[in-house]
Amino acid sequence: MNTRFVAFAAGLAPALAVGWFGFPRLLYRQVEQPLSFSHKVHTGEKGGMACADCHSLGPDGRFTGIPRLEKCAGCHSAPVGTTAAEKKFVDDYVAKGREVDWLVYARQPDNVYFSHAVHLSGKEKVACERCHGPHGATDTLRTWQVNRISGYSRDIWGPNIARIGRRPWEGMTMNDCIQCHEKQGRDSSCLACHK
């Protein structure tokens, strides 16, 4: 066998491995959410709330985002439970009238218009879990991973840069939307989402 080929292959394999496994670790920086929050407590048997109770839609069908402090303060003017996280929330945020700077997992690029209303009330009535996964049943918020170059959450691309073996809700790229529309027999133009 040609020694140049062997030397090339011996150098290529580690370079590919570093690029495949090391680059994603370098590309994303991890940031903890400002508070611990349990969706499970709010949506489970004790809380019984639905996603729309906190995450509402604006008049134009856009998602209004993470609920404002006033919505949470309705129930949490004083601690309801016994957790340190709730005490911190009441003492540091509710009592001081200070909004929590939550880090948003699903924030799309500014040139993308996405109407939740069309998807939630349309013919298909897409469940929140289809795009966001079992987020409503989680006991804690996972670490937010932000792309050091684009500034967007890792949730947009998904956990695996190769996108192999990913679950339906792992990724919110344009291709993910197009694939879902094709499965549903929906035809969309560029201007439907890009305004």
**The predicted structure's pLDDT at residue 163:** 79
Q: What mean pLDDT comes out for the span 23-47?
A: 88
Residue 1 has pLDDT above 70, yes or no: no
CA separation (Å) from 166 to 14, 18, 62, 121, 122? 25, 21, 27, 27, 26
More confident residue, 87 or 47: 87
pTM of the model: 0.78
pLDDT digits (tens, 9 = 90+) for 52-98: 888 888 877 777 888 999 999 988 988 888 889 999 999 999 999 99
Give SS3 for 14: helix
Domain extent listing, the chain = 23-66+102-193
What pLDDT is stored for residue 158 in this prediction?
Answer: 86
> Chain centroid to CA 193: how far?
19
Q: How far apart are CA 31 and CA 169, in angstroms?
A: 21
pLDDT of residue 10: 87
Give the range among 93-97, 173-177, 186-190 with minimum mean pLDDT. 186-190
Q: How far apart are CA 31 and CA 26, in angstroms?
A: 14
Average pLDDT over residues 150-174: 86
